[in-house]
Structure 1
Amino acid sequence: MADSDTLFARLCASRYALIKANHPGEGRRKRKLRVSEEFWSLSADDKKKLVQDLPAFDPNAPYDFLTDGDPADEVTDKVPGEGLIVRTDYSNETAWTTFCDKVREAQEELFSDSPETPEEADMAADADADESDADEAMDEDQDEDDEEEEGPPVLFHIINPSDPSDRLQLSHFSHISNLAALRLLNDVSIRKAPLPPFGSGIKRIKPPNRLIDHDGWQEIYTGKTIWVYDATSNQDGCARLVSQKSAEAPYGTATGDSWRAKATHLPELQANIASGAIKIDFGGMDRWDHNERQRNLQEATLPMQ
């Protein structure tokens, strides 16, 4: 697990069991957030001392913070798909249906077989003519079996409370911020914050914020990629792609930053993000949605509920 090599794994190894005992009715994600909250409440000096004094993480130990369940596991860890499309606005069924149709069509196109050129078709016909009828039949049966067994990969799981009663039960999804979505559906962690290049003259953020740089540390998240369908999606046919950590540059980008992508682009983007073929960083430019960033930064300063 990604936590095993981080400061946060050591924090959880030290603190999670006690927090679990004090909050038995909560899930893994909420308890880990409480561990991180303790860290952020410390002064800069106390953070440094804690980092030095924490015990090592034992990769062979059966830590509860690695194995405990969470209510959101039913729509995250236990379902197929590399990404989660989260519906947070329910005011326009037609727009939502159109969005889903476009995502599905784009995914089918992405994984459909490429059409043969005339030359490829001729070559295939010549090759078939040299084979026996029995061999042809066996090959066709094998191809059909392979197609049935493999099929296209699953890119998305859609979180969409489909009836009014479900929406009331999952009302915390309605119009949520990127940070709230990360906290519900991903697992929190902490890393060293990317800092301004030495000699650049760029000043550190004040007041500090855990989503960018708080005493040299940053709150980040691990888990499936989150795409948020919101009220604006009804008009522009886009979803917010939510980042799990800030970009390495420029300094000042934040965990939870997002930008809007068209429904038709989601499958290709998700496939490439999952494979590591692309990383969304705008070539070092800050082109993230600044309004969503400010919303996240403000929410990060609020006490836990």
Structure 2
Amino acid sequence: METAVPAPSSGILSHFLAARYPAVKARFPGEGRRRWRLRVAEAFWNLSSEEKEVYATACRSAAAPSEDAEFNTDDDPYDEVSDDAPGLGILLRTDYSNEVAWQDFYSKLQEGEAEFAAASSAGEDEDDKMAEDAGAPLPAGEDQDMDSDSDDGGAHPIFTVIADRPAFAGLSNLAALRLLNDVDVRRLPVLPAGTKRVKPPHRLVDQDGWQEVYVGKTVWIYDARSNVDQCARLVSQHAGMYGTATADSWRARAGYLCDLQVNLSSGAMTIDFGGLDRWDYDERVRNLEEAVKPLG
């Protein structure tokens, strides 16, 4: 898995959205931005390989759609707990069978956030002391910024935690991405010589040289196994090395989540396990099956 920075996009879905999103929005009122985008993406995947290439060629000479287009700015029912919520990542609880185990996991997460905040604060204090010892004035506006931070109650949380929605029980990786991230499509890079394409083709891996990806905050999932192993699933927004799939997941212990999330968000870290197949096989099967089900 790579970082939480959005996967490189071909831009083709933006052009497709510009052409089809308004009609989809009118046909399915009230669904929200992410669902409307998924419906347009479904139409893209229904194109033949030749039609995709013709469309991609036409897009290269067309002006890029505005970043303020409605398919980027419309409201979504889950913006409140994703885009508009504080934090770098989202922890989603999907199992409610063991409250004691959940509270133990959550306390470890809170301890991690507190330790990270304390370390960050200590580093800032040390920087300020070094500046004072050197006789260097604080940059203009820094006093005001510090006061503002104090007024806000200190450091922002690393995670937004969604733990009060039993309707999310048993949610798959892909379903979580589709609720909390925005769908996009990217063209796969040219494969190294001798690499065989994945068969059968699949949109989460490689379909006609394209791949379904997701853009937004990193999603972590607390599931039934978490009650026992005190780990959460770290969900990939796009595939890393060829042959892995969008929505693949790996498990990470509660005590490491904060450090991992900060480093993933900053781009200081990638996770690929040296190319070893350590992703969760059962979760991949669920994702591949759900990806091609009609949206209804």
Q: TM-score, normalised by structure 1?
A: 0.81
> In 1, are the aligned partners of 2:10 and 2:185 still within 8 Å (CA)?
no
Mark the CA change 1:65 to 1:197 in structure 2 (over 3 Å): closer, same or farther. Answer: same
| Residue in 1 that maps onto 2:208 | 215
Larger RCO (alpha carbons 8 Å, 6+ apart)? 2
Q: Distance in 2 between matches of 1:142 and 1:10?
A: 43
* Matched ranges for 1:1-305 at <5 A: 6-54=11-59, 56-60=62-66, 62-113=68-119, 145=147, 148-149=150-151, 151-161=154-164, 167=166, 171=167, 173-194=168-189, 196-198=191-193, 200=194, 202-247=195-240, 249=241, 251-305=242-296
Q: CA RMSD in A?
A: 2.8
- Secondary structure in structure 2 of the residue aligned to 1:214: coil
Name the stretch that deviates more: 294-303 or 232-241.
294-303
Alpha-carbon separation, structure 1, partners of 2:62 and 2:163: 41
Unpaired segments of 5 or more residues in structure 1? 129-140
CA distance in 2, matches of 1:227, 1:4: 23
> Following the alignment from structure 1 to structure 2, what is the Cα–Cα distance between the partners of residues 211 and 218?
6
Between the aligned partners of 1:50 and 1:281, the Cα distance in structure 2 is 33
SS at match of 1:106: helix
1:147/1:70 CA distance change after superposition, 3 Å: closer
Q: Quick one: percent identity of the two aligned structures?
A: 51
Give CA-to-partner distance per residue, 1:79-99, whole Å, 9 cap, x none.
Answer: 101100000000010011110
Give SS of 1:42's match.
coil
Rg (Cα) greater in structure: 1
| Number of residue equivalences | 273
Question: Contact between 1:82 and 1:270, CA under 8 Å: does it hold in 2?
Answer: yes
Structure 1 segments, 4+ long, off by >6 Å, are 2-5, 141-144
Gap runs ≥5 in structure 2: 1-5, 134-142
Structure 1 Cα separation of the partners of residues 204 and 276 of structure 2:
18
Provide the secondary structure at the position in 2 that maps to 1:112.
helix
Question: CA distance change for structure 1 residues 98 and 22 in 2, over 3 Å: closer, same or farther?
Answer: same
Q: Partners of 1:246 and 1:4 in 2: how far apart?
A: 13
Q: Deviations over 1:115-149 (max 9, x none)?
A: 99xxx9xxx9xx99xxxxxxxxxxxx999957725
CA offsets, 1:32-69, max 9 Å, x none? 00111001111111111222234734454742101100
The structure-2 alpha-carbon separation of the partners of 1:94 and 1:9, relative to structure 1 and needing over 3 Å to count, comes to same
- Residue 285 of structure 1 and its aligned partner are, at CA, apart by 3.1
CA positional deviation for 1:283: 2.9
CA contact (8 A) 2:93 2:221 kept: yes
In the alignment, residue 181 of structure 1 is paired with which amino acid? Answer: A
Name the amino acid aligned to 1:75: V
Aligned to 1:134: none
1:182 partner letter: L
Moved more, 186-195 or 260-269: 186-195
Local SS of the residue matching 2:186: strand
> Within 1, Cα distance between the matches of 2:218 and 2:151?
26
- Pair 1:275–1:264, CA change in 2 (3 A): same
Partner SS for 2:212: strand
The CA deviation string for residues 176-207 of structure 1, in whole angstroms up to 9 with x for no partner, is: 11000000110000001245411x3x321111
In the alignment, the residues of structure 1 paired with residue 144 and residue 68 of structure 2 have an alpha-carbon distance, to the nearest angstrom, of 44
Quick one: which amino acid aligns to residue 286 of structure 1?
D
Compared CA separation, residues 114 and 68, structure 1 to 2 (3 A)? closer
In structure 1, C-alpha distance between the alignment counterparts of 2:94 and 2:37, rounded to whole Å: 24
Structure-1 separation of matches of 2:146 and 2:291: 52
Tell me which amino acid in the other structure corresponds to 1:9: S
Quote how far apart the aligned CAs of 1:265 are.
0.3
Structure 2 CA distance for aligned equivalents of residues 188 and 143 of structure 1: 35
